[in-house]
Structure 1
Amino acid sequence: MRWWQLPFRTLFHLPLTRRDGRRLAYAVDLPYRADSGSGRAKAHLYLEGRHLAASKLPAAFPVEGGTIEVAVSAFGIKRCHYVPTAGRTHPLIPDPRTAEGRRARLEHDHRALSRSVGLLSMLVLLGGAGLNLLQLAEPISRIPAVAERTGHLDLPVHLPIWLNFALAVGAILASTERALRLRYGFVDQAGK
């Protein structure tokens, strides 16, 4: 990983110990852009630095003792977990040089700051989604068939275009921040 690759790809690691005590080092390389041939992004699996497999996303790679499951969203990683045949599922470790690894280091080194950033991103997503829904409901309520049933909705405040644009940019940044923390839920889908 090089610094200039941060917006274009990410890398996750899975260290495993075999029954005989030998350690295996798996890595999953995820380019954020689509493959030129297929038009879809592909995940690449490596073992000890050697390329083992590639798969369109979402992907499931069979590995020693289980499966690595990978899924992405429009803003980043939805899921990158090791699912053993017996035992508990756990996430792969982001490479420290990736954006996800840097976000994990912020969370580890500065917990209060990390929580504040996480709370702010959640508020921006909820606020932006709520305001967008209200602005969408107003013109829909003007349709004659809808107005007869529900009445006409008149918003007391109309947001200027620059503020709508700022809310959209804020929602994109907040969704990206949540993706870097490997968090994904209904709020992130509403923020799209």
Structure 2
Amino acid sequence: MSRRLRPLRRHEILHRALYATTRPGADGRDAVWTVEVDMSRDWDARLYRDGEQVARAEMPASLPVPGGRIEVDAGLYGVTRMHLVTDDGGERRLPPVPGTLEYRRARLARRSPAVSRTIAAVAVAVLLVNLVLAVPVALELLTGIDAVAARFGTFTSPITLPGWLNTGLLVAGVVAAAERALTWRRHRVVDAETIWTAL
């Protein structure tokens, strides 16, 4: 299974996530344990010790490390879980590797909290607008099914948007969902429109 961890290239930051932690090895010496999730290739999580691949698993993944395991999961918009769970029951999130999109977003939050909060608020607003607009469209589609229409009648959405606006809202929704994933925020209502991607 010998395979070296490739350096992160700038064009890979949209689809490749790297998280790392330092743990003592069997010989007592500290080793860097890195988890790679490359969503352009597959939905696997790969574990490296000092840059050498030692494990690979489909997600949701549980990767063994000395003194515990690293639990990994991801959705369409990014990593949703990356936690070290120790044998004594402790749990902590692994930090992203410098250069990754996750690292850059966390650095922005540290350096410019006001800007970070504004971006987060805009993402919530976009997702809520999309959710409100999606409800009547979903009802119209649902009542278009013969069995549903026979029992409850049909529904015609009062909202008709031009194609360019629909496309713009779709793109904005994807960006907003990715922003929420980068900051590991999740809310049952705000993120309702993106829940299907976790199925």
TM norm structure 1: 0.84
1:23 and 2:30 matched: yes
1:8 and 2:15 matched: yes
| Residue of structure 2 in register with 1:37 after alignment | none
| Residue of structure 1 in register with 2:5 after alignment | none
- After superposition, the Cα gap between the structure-2 partners of 1:139 and 1:74, relative to the gap in structure 1 and judged at 3 Å, is closer
From 170, 185, 193, give the equivalent of 1:190: 193
For 1:98-137, list aligned pairs within 5 A.
98-137=100-139
Instruction: Tell me, yes or no, if the aligned pair for 1:29 and 1:44 is still in contact at 8 Å.
Output: yes
1:75 and 2:82 matched: no
Greater CA drift, 117-126 or 134-143: 134-143
Q: Which amino acid aligns with 2:184?
A: L
Q: How many residues align?
A: 187
TM norm structure 2: 0.81
| Residue of structure 2 in register with 1:62 after alignment | 64
Unmatched runs of 5 consecutive residues or more in structure 2: 1-7
Instruction: Tell me, yes or no, if the aligned pair for 1:66 and 1:82 is still in contact at 8 Å.
Output: yes
Unmatched runs of 5 consecutive residues or more in structure 1: 35-39
- For 2:99 and 2:178, the matched residues in 1 are separated by 17
SS of the residue aligned with 2:179?
A: helix
Q: Deviations over 1:20-75 (max 9, x none)?
A: 974331111111123xxxxx422111112222111122210111111100111011
Greater CA drift, 78-87 or 10-19: 10-19
| Residue of structure 2 in register with 1:32 after alignment | 39
Q: CA RMSD in A?
A: 2.6
| Residue of structure 1 in register with 2:4 after alignment | none
Q: Percent of counterpart pairs with the same letter?
A: 35
Instruction: Tell me, yes or no, if the aligned pair for 1:78 and 1:183 is still in contact at 8 Å.
Output: no
SS of the residue aligned with 2:160?
A: coil
Q: Which amino acid aligns with 1:160?
A: P
Q: Which amino acid aligns with 2:61?
A: A
Q: Which amino acid aligns with 2:176?
A: A
- For 1:175 and 1:78, the matched residues in 2 are separated by 12
